[in-house]
Structure 1
Amino acid sequence: MRDPPGGGRSLLWILLCFTGLSPSSAQSGSQQVQGLLGESVTFPAPVFTRGNLLYTGVGSIVIVFKGAADANITDKFRDRLQWDRQTGLFTITQLRLQDEGQYEVDNTDGQKIITRFQLTVYERVSKPTVEIQNCTAVCSVENGRDVILSWTRGEEILNQTSSPLLNTPLSLSLDIEELHNGTYSCVASNPVSEESVQLNKMTCWEPPETVNTGVRYIPVIPAAALLVFPGVFAVFCIAQKLRHGAQ
């Protein structure tokens, strides 16, 4: 991108005033645009020879005239604005959360067209973690704007959750006993980023219950007692005979 030649910015501003670059001209519908913190966003409305990009509360932040652009007209976006001569598109680089708001591409290449964009800047979603508790896999992640936490099997969403309470982590459970063949993953996502962790094949284990086999226990006489009993019986018999003989 290069500065406009010749008379510089003052002449450019005068020419723009006479050419009627006014936000009150014919307008098109508004579009939603999302960007990732620290990355870039491009507004899909081209300007090839004459027009400008405006930001609510600031005014023009890029001016295009006769195929040349001036983007250093405000400190808020200094060195972060680009205009591509080939595509005619405006791009903001090194996005900040403070860049959110409404933008307008004012195109006067031919018929005057104003296209409005509502920019939302998101932080990158955190990577989720999974813990196994008995027969349940519990997935957790830090919450953020428009973050959704899901359990998936392949491309199929099994369940999901979200919360407007941004300071409270999101948590979602999956019953391991009901798992079938397939790849199971916990996925955290927002409109511009996604992180996931795959659930390794787990075996559900629980302490076994006590089983009643119905076996009855029979008292067992010690072997020593069985050896002694015949001897005692023999002595008893001899004593009885001697008693009878004495009589």
Structure 2
Amino acid sequence: MVFHAFFCFCLWLLGGVSDVYTDETMTVSVMEGDSVTLNTDVTELQKDDHILWSFRFNSSETRIAEIYKQIISVYDIGENERFRGRLQIDNQTGSLTITNINKLHSGLYKLQIISRVIKHMSFSTAVYGILPVPVIIRDSSQNVSSSSGSSVSRCSLLCSVLNVGHVTLSWFKGNSLLSSISVSDLSISLSLPLEVEYQEKNTYSCVINNPISNQTTHLDISEVCQPSSESNQTSLLLVVLLLVLLLLVVPAVAVLICRRRNYTQAKLEAQSNEEEEVYYTDATFIKQRDQDTETNAHDRTVYSEVVLRR
């Protein structure tokens, strides 16, 4: 009789609350600055349901939000300061939303739903930064003019990105992958070389990508990669043209300056001559006494000074 009562009691417990531990971990990828919602898959919470959210990073785990008897509590201070003002919990389903997410929010989110059935869920969340646009430059350290036994001009290129993490950098020829490099560290710089022919008409592109986004830069061979011989010839031609221009222009300018100076000086002298005027004064003849006249036997003339005034 006692055994039968105990067996019934156990059946009642199993019928009322059973612990179903589902070690289900879902992977969530999100771009930095976006919002993400971690769903409970519950249509509507009951009055006595208990929803508990916790966050685990490395070996530390802390409670961040919960609903108990329809009362919502959010814990975003103290050790959870990284979540301040970013956590929202749905009072109907218990789903958790993280707004304006950043890399500090990457980690494992654990959910426990205590109802007639105890349910456990985990969300492995990875936050990826905004990808930069790859930059393609000519690698000046690699002097490749032509391949052996061939006159085809070639050059070496570098595709580079700065301060990236958890990305793959790749070179494509059309849709075919030529080479790639991946990195899982944070804030690292990547460079990937490529050697191409100047004359070829193929389409090349450099692509950086992570699980949720990508950035592409297409190569313009005629702009980035010019044969060194052509470049030298162009430079030499520019130097020769510059010297010719100097030899022609400098003497011409000197002649013009001299002519201008002579013309100005002549003009000033002409103006000076036109402005000068000559004034005359009357000559006065003084008649001497008769005895003087007889003695000298000629008249005496006295001249006055002539004064020029401008």
Q: Is the pair's TM-score, using the shorter chain for normalization, greater than 0.5?
A: yes
Question: 8 Å contact 1:69–1:83 — kept in the other structure?
Answer: no
Give the match for residue 53 of structure 1. Answer: 53
**CA–CA separation in structure 1 for the residues paired with 2:88 and 2:175:** 38
**CA–CA separation in structure 2 for the residues paired with 1:103 and 1:33:** 10
1:113 is aligned to 2:80: no
The percent of aligned pairs where both chains have the same amino acid is: 28
Where structure 2 has 5 or more consecutive residues not aligned to the other structure, the ranges are 1-15, 140-153, 231-310
Give the match for residue 215 of structure 2. Answer: 195
**CA–CA separation in structure 2 for the residues paired with 1:98 and 1:118:** 13
Give the match for residue 65 of structure 2. Answer: 62
1:77-226 superposed matches below 5 A: 77-84=83-90, 89-108=95-114, 111-133=117-139, 135-163=155-183, 169-177=189-197, 183-202=203-222, 205-207=227-229
Where structure 1 has 5 or more consecutive residues not aligned to the other structure, the ranges are 1-18, 209-247
TM superposition shift of 1:147? 1.9
Higher relative contact order (CA 8 A, sep 6+): 1
TM superposition shift of 1:92? 0.9
Deviation per CA, 1:60-109, whole angstroms, max 9, x where unpaired?
Answer: 3222357x562533323232112346776322112233323221122346
Pick closer, same or farther for the CA change 1:166–1:85 going to 2, 3 Å: closer
Pick closer, same or farther for the CA change 1:153–1:87 going to 2, 3 Å: farther
Question: 8 Å contact 2:165–2:187 — kept in the other structure?
Answer: no
Structure 2 residue matching 1:142: 3-state secondary structure:
strand
Which amino acid in 2 is paired with 1:63? E
Structure 1 residue matching 2:131: 3-state secondary structure:
coil
Give the match for residue 39 of structure 1. Answer: 34
Pick closer, same or farther for the CA change 1:95–1:181 going to 2, 3 Å: same
1:73 to 75, 86, 89: 75
Pick closer, same or farther for the CA change 1:164–1:26 going to 2, 3 Å: closer
Give the match for residue 251 of structure 2. Answer: none
Question: 8 Å contact 1:46–1:90 — kept in the other structure?
Answer: no
Which amino acid in 2 is paired with 1:207? S
Structure 1 residue matching 2:172: 3-state secondary structure:
strand
1:29 to 2, 7, 24: 24
**CA–CA separation in structure 2 for the residues paired with 1:69 and 1:33:** 27
TM superposition shift of 1:129? 0.5
Q: Which moved more, 1:197-206 or 1:141-150?
A: 197-206
**CA–CA separation in structure 2 for the residues paired with 1:143 and 1:64:** 40
TM superposition shift of 1:204? 5.2
Deviation per CA, 1:180-212, whole angstroms, max 9, x where unpaired?
Answer: 65542211122343222111253752428xxxx
Question: 8 Å contact 1:46–1:107 — kept in the other structure?
Answer: no
Question: 8 Å contact 2:205–2:217 — kept in the other structure?
Answer: yes
What is the number of equivalent residue pairs in this alignment? 187
TM superposition shift of 1:141? 0.8
Which amino acid in 2 is paired with 1:99? H
